Amino acid sequence: MEPFTEDGFPREKCGKCGWVHYHNPRPTVSAIIAKSKKVLLCKRAAGPFAGKWDLPGGFLEEQELAEEGIKREMREELKIEIEIVRLAGIFGPTYYPFGGQDVYNTDIYYEVKIPDGEIKAVEGSDVVEVGWFEPNNLPDMAFSSNVAAIESWGKTSII
């Protein structure tokens, strides 16, 4: 792969076939879940930023709608079914160093409702612990886009 610049952005091109690797951001989906004026956060089990806190969510799969992805992620990480209230915002680019590469995400946030009852991390998932936090007193967060989404949500929340 040969590096080059196109339209002011770094690219890589195969010298044999001419295929171009565009370093596009990857889409993620996350849920803002609120109860008693606190938001649910998850402690990350793995890198990047293992041990820091994050809103529950993850990467979209190929050909998956964002609304389907957020529901799947909530089942995988928290074993809950959710009801989407509204799109809370789209933030990014978010730095996500992984596999020795510097990559970026575009993060889609939904405000969601959850069933009553206790929420726990699913053993073996990307989450090792869950906790409820006041939006103005967040723990050590993994991603600045989470903080921006929570701040924006706090100004417009309908829950």
Domains of the chain by start residue, with CATH = 24-156 (3.90.79.10)
Q: From CA 4, how far away is CA 13, in angstroms rounded?
A: 7
* pLDDT tens-digit series, residues 91-101: 999 999 988 88
pTM here is: 0.91
User: What percent of the chain shows pLDDT beyond 70?
Assistant: 99
Active-site positions read 129
Q: Is the pLDDT of residue 158 over 80?
A: no
Average pLDDT, the chain: 94
With CA atoms as reference, report the closest residue to 126 among 75, 69, 63, 92. 75
Q: From CA 17, how far away is CA 73, in angstroms rounded?
A: 37
Compute the radius of gyration of the chain from its Cα atoms.
Answer: 17
DSSP conformation letters of 84-132: EEEEEEEEEEEEEEETTEEEEEEEEEEEEE--SS---PPTTSSEEEEEE
Q: Which two tokens stand for residue 58?
A: 């993850």
- Which pLDDT value is given to residue 115? 83
